[in-house]
Chains A and B, each alone.
Chain A
Amino acid sequence: MRVIIVGCGRLGAHLARRLDREGNEVTVIDRNAESFARLGSEFHGRMVFGTGIDEDILRRAGIESADAFIAVTNGDNTNAMASEIARLVFNVPRVVARLYDPVREDTFHTLGLMETVCPTIMGSDKIHELITGNGASPSS
């Protein structure tokens, strides 16, 4: 599988290393070149320096033939926009965006352009479950 990951922070780098180990063709985009150090020396994939909301940078990363696109920068708006470009301009089949803000996540989930992951809700549900022992009623 050809995967593009925008954002080489803790989550992006972790995911990149994992997908790379599993034999996928991974390309990571980040606008801070120092972030690529998080990928470690074992990483076999490609690194592209630039912003993930620029069509030209995305093309350079090989988005035209990508099977999956993951936007996990620390900015919700960047993730949403990058994912929309991936979906609407380049027709990437699987697009996932991380959105910290639950309201934004809800809106973009409803728009149906991408799959969304909201760590705020996930973390809150998990912690709630841990302290109340009640995993059956996730909050919204």
Chain B
Amino acid sequence: MYIIVVGGGKVGYYLAKSLLNDGHEVLVIEKDKRKCDMISAELGGIVQRGDGTDSTVMEEAGMSRADLTVAVTGDDEDNLMICQMAKKKFGVKRTIARINNPKNERIFKLLGIDHTVSVTDLILAQIEREIPAHSLVHLLTLREAGTSFVEAKVPEGSPVAGKLIKDLNIPDDCVIPLIIRKGKGIVPHGETPLVVGDEVVAVTALEHEDVLERVFSGLTITKGQ
């Protein structure tokens, strides 16, 4: 595949390196001369110096024959422009954009950018996993379907410990298909009680995540009432 990577910072550099190793034809577009020099010293003549949002530069890079364009500059507006120009002006089929503001994911989707990678979201998900203050951990979010898979732990003193699933007061468009208890999966039913240490997996409508979060965290209940 011919892959154009716009942005030769750390992300762009390591991405290009990995893609080259996988046997792809890669071109990196980067504005900064020092970064260009470093990349060509390390990876060979695969760099084109210039503004990757400039149509002339895109044309010289052979954008119209690219199978994939990946925009990984540090600015969301530049990444959006790169992907839009690649698609609309040069007919590139697939584009991937790095985004910084997680809220921009929706805008990129609306504008037809196939894939976005939000570093902020990735780090946030990791924090949720490491710090128990966030009672819901996102396992998978299907934004278009309006659904997410989340996981909630039942810690010592949790308001749901000892309760039966049917008594949890969770919204109608939310189900609990799996509980992991002592490393073993259980498919629960209404009469299954929750036990301290349980990891509860729930499928929920995105708009009711907060209700679910309130059910599982005593903290939010006190705050909300």
Cβ contacts A61-97/B at 8 Å (1 or 0 each): 0000000000000011110111011001100000000
Indicate if the CB atoms of A53 and B106 lie closer than 8 Å.
Answer: no
Indicate if the CB atoms of A81 and B88 lie closer than 8 Å.
Answer: no
State in angstroms the CA–CA spacing of A78 and B78 once bound together.
Answer: 8
**Could you say which of B81, B88, B110 contacts A89, with CB atoms under 8 Å apart?**
B110
Indicate if the CB atoms of B55 and A77 lie closer than 8 Å.
Answer: no
Decide if B89 is an interface residue (CB 8 Å cutoff): yes
State in angstroms the CA–CA spacing of A54 and B103 once bound together.
Answer: 8
Which residue in chain B gives the minimum CB-CB distance to A80? B81
Give chain B interface residues in 1-59, CB to chain A under 8 Å: 53-56
Decide if B101 is an interface residue (CB 8 Å cutoff): yes
Indicate if the CB atoms of A76 and B81 lie closer than 8 Å.
Answer: yes
Q: How many residues of B contact A (CB 8 A)?
A: 21
Indicate if the CB atoms of A77 and B80 lie closer than 8 Å.
Answer: yes
**Chain B contact surface mostly:** helix
Q: How many residues of A contact B (CB 8 A)?
A: 21
Give the shortest distance, in Å, between B85 (CB) and chain A (any CB). 6
Known: A54-B101, A88-B110, A101-B54. A77 touches B89 (CB 8 A): no
Q: Which A residues are in CB contact (< 8 Å) with B107?
A: 81, 84-85, 88-89
* Interface residues in chain B, defined as those with a beta carbon under 8 Å from any beta carbon in chain A: 53-56, 75-78, 80-81, 84-85, 88-89, 101, 103-104, 106-107, 110-111
